Amino acid sequence: MSTTTMLQLLGSGMIKTAAIFFLTLLFSLPLGLLFSFGRMARNGLIRGITKFYISVMRGTPLMLQMIVVYFAPYYVFGMRIPSGYRFTAVIIAFVLNYAAYFAEIYRSGIESIPRGQYEAAEVLGYSKAQTFVKIILPQVIKRILPPVTNEMITLVKDTSLAFVLTEVEMFTAAKQIAAKETSMLPLMVAGVFYYIFNLVVAAVMEYVEKRLNYYK
């Protein structure tokens, strides 16, 4: 196999890896915020259900969750699994899994805000929604950036788990080429890609973090 062909195949896998990464963030970040509200709800039933969900998502392997999401329509509802559902199942599993982790990060950030800020906002005539959006959320975002960055870096590496549903992302493509060519080069190239991807993620998040340090 020529170097050009190898790079083309790896490039195709790279696109799939990037798609899993960005789609997971796109849906799991807002969903995680929603789950954090449920985790802090005054209603005991809502709080209990959300807490149990987060516990299950964080306490079971992502690979198992992908398998369940993919095969559940057939075994639970008797539905025929369409061929194009594999990628969708990967995204659903990743989103549900990472939303649970982001929910706890959001919750820790929200609960770290002093109660006095809520009381001060109430005195100034802010509604609860206005208080959260204009006062609490900007501070929460600033405080949770480091743990969110860690989860994003982990997500880049976790995209390789998509091989469980035979989705050919970067790592799977490299592994297939390496097995066919009996060469370590494709795996080394994949390793460099993951490293550069994470460097970019870390650099972007560091830039955002510095931009939010407006008191320095």
Helix (H, G, I), strand (E, B) or coil at 104: helix
Residue spans per domain, the chain: 3-212
**In angstroms, rounded to a whole number, what is the distance separating the alpha carbons of residues 57 and 21?**
18
pLDDT interval class at 115 (50, 70, 90)? confident
Cα 93–74–172 angle (5° rounding)? 45
Contact (CB, 8 A) for 39 and 103? yes
Q: Which residue has the tokens 């005539």?
A: 125
Least confident of 48-62, 81-95, 145-159, 166-180: 166-180
Which tens digits make up the pLDDT trace of 6-61? 788 888 889 999 999 999 999 999 999 999 999 998 899 999 999 999 999 999 99
pLDDT of amino acid 212: 78
Q: Is the dihedral of CA 29, 113, 131, 36 positive or negative?
A: positive
Q: Which amino acid type is present at position 184? A: M
C-alpha closest to that of 151 among 105, 184, 212, 197: 105
Contact (CB, 8 A) for 46 and 35? no
DSSP string, 138-194: HHHHHHHHHHHHHHHHHHHHHGGGGGGGT---HHHHHHHHHHHHT-SHHHHHHHHHH
Residue 64 structure tokens? 């198992």
Q: How much of the chain is in helix, strand and coil states, percent to nearest 5?
A: 85, 0, 15
C-alpha closest to that of 14 among 192, 165, 138, 145: 192
Q: What does the buried/exposed string (b/e) look like for 83-113 if buried means 16 or more CB atoms within 10 Å of the residue's CB?
A: eebbbebbbbbbbbbbbbbbbbbbbebbeeb
Residues in the chain: 216
CA distances from 117 to 74, 137, 213 (A): 50, 12, 19
* CATH number assigned to the domain covering 3-212: 1.10.3720.10
Which tens digits make up the pLDDT trace of 60-103? 999 999 999 999 888 888 888 887 899 999 999 999 999 999 99
Q: Which residue has the tokens 């982790």?
A: 101
C-alpha closest to that of 32 among 111, 108, 98: 98
